[in-house]
Amino acid sequence: MKKLLLFLLCFNSLPIFAQPQKVWLDADTGNEVDDVYAIIRLLWATEQYNITGLSAAHFNNADLVAFDQWNQYSTPGIQPVRISQALNEEILSTMGLSHIPHPMGADRQMGRAWGGYEPRSSAATEALQQVINKLKPGEKLDIITLGALTNIASLIALDTTVTEKIRVYSLGGGYDLDKKAWNKNEFNVRCDLNAFDFMMNQTGLDWTVMPISTVIDYRFEREETYQRFDDDRPVEQLMENRWRQTDPESTVRVMWDLGLVEAYLQPGLATLAAVSTPPENHLHTVKIYAKIDTHGLYKDFWQTVEKHRQAFQAPAHKPKLGEIHLGNRVGGTLAQEGPTQQLICLQEGDQLHSIQTCLTPQQNVVKGIRMEVLKKDGKMQTSVFGDTTQGAWQPVYQVKKGQLLTGISGVSGWFVDSIRFHFNDGTTTPLYGGGGGDNDYQLILSRNRQKQLRGRWMGFWGSATNQLESIGLVFWPVE
């Protein structure tokens, strides 16, 4: 965990009645500068939206075989989708959000160079299908795509029934409002014209397009952007360095992808219009962003930067009882079925006495945790997190006097497959659980330069059915 504090909640329980909109972002992150800005802006909205995944898209184009360089990348042997994947992983790691699924998409267009709609199955289409299959009746997944439409068009081509369960927001193409005419002579469309045409032929698909002609005036100035970013904030430096490394000569950049994400997050600053599809495609209507408030979207981005800069500041005082912090969750957050729950079992002056983990009968997934706490009044209190019925109990781990629980680690996937508990003296419990899952997680309270803990563990939060779906730390800061 690069940052100790993620957000502050001044109440003792999480609301489980409000279900945030599920959103999936598909990005050709390695292509230009603005994808990184757009991804970070959406990830900053995790308090309002359930970000279910971030997939990598390719940016294959003719220049990759005609020139020796594409931005800062050498083109011989270039693998665009892998560049996007590596950047996605860097962004998530920097933001402490690596638990968000981030599968890689297709490495080439639909069909062939002369046409065709043969889909490109990938880890991204499989993960998207799993999310969609978990949707409740009447629920829809919003998919925002910043590059070629290969992954989304392939998803639909592989299973046309998904059109009833998704809404798509994409950047690409041009549209002349006066002439009522489309222009497919645009980079994202050129990267997979087959996919764009396939999407234009889909009836019953809720699709909103951000034409480049609408967003072209949404621009950032280089020197002002550099100056406004904080050198001590890794996330902000990630955005600044992307510009410095990818396009240092440009003094002004159109922030295409950020414009789409901002318009999605701030619908009051964008105007929609229903327009006909191109004459060469199936005749029906799709929605476009006909106009955006570029000043308002620009202001929103920098206000969000400031907000999250302040949100990561530890308060100067120790919060009162009930003023707690929730850290990252790991596990199957994208397809949560169990209600969100929160357990606070330790207060100031209490001592954790023992921990016992309950696994599934096969001992390959964590079901729940039972903890005994010696309260400051001398009484022993038992608390349970998750489900602890009909499971395989592991040996009790006795916590030594003075030991503080500082974090957890293990492996997770759709569930919390395994868990290990860490303490302030460097010791750990055994690893409890199986070897499944594809995410090695580690949620550990950070220390200051004097190697003192910046926070105190209080309990856990997450979700569970008959297995532990997700888990995160509950703690209060001490500096």
DSSP single-letter state for residue 416: B
- Same domain, yes or no: 35 and 71: yes
Residue 450 inside a domain? The answer is: yes
pLDDT tens across 279-330, in order?
999 999 999 999 999 999 999 999 999 888 765 333 333 444 345 677 778 8
Report the percentage of the chain scoring pLDDT > 70: 92
pLDDT tens across 70-127, in order?
999 999 999 999 999 999 999 998 888 888 999 999 999 999 999 999 999 999 999 9
pLDDT at 333: 63
CATH, residue 355: 2.100.10.30
- Same domain, yes or no: 49 and 160: yes
- Same domain, yes or no: 221 and 303: yes
- Same domain, yes or no: 87 and 155: yes
Residue 4 inside a domain? The answer is: no
- Same domain, yes or no: 126 and 203: yes
Residue 75 inside a domain? The answer is: yes
Structural domain harbouring 192: 18-311
Spatial CA neighbour of 38 closest among 237, 248, 218, 260: 260
Spatial CA neighbour of 201 closest among 164, 161, 157, 169: 157
5 pLDDT tier (thresholds 50, 70, 90): very low
Residue 118 inside a domain? The answer is: yes
- Of 55-59, 167-171, 270-274, 422-426, the poorest mean pLDDT is in 422-426
Specify whether the CB–CB gap between 478 and 404 falls below 8 A: no
Residue 316 inside a domain? The answer is: no
- Domain edge (last residue) among 289, 311, 333: 311
- Same domain, yes or no: 402 and 265: no
Q: Answer yes or no: is pLDDT of 268 > 90.
A: yes
Question: Per the structure, how many domains does the chain have?
Answer: 2
Helix (H, G, I), strand (E, B) or coil at 125: helix
- Domain edge (last residue) among 284, 311, 338: 311
End-to-end Cα separation, the chain, in angstroms = 17
- Is 98 or 232 the better-scoring residue by pLDDT? 98
Q: Tell me the longest C-alpha to C-alpha distance in the chain.
A: 79
pLDDT at 323: 52
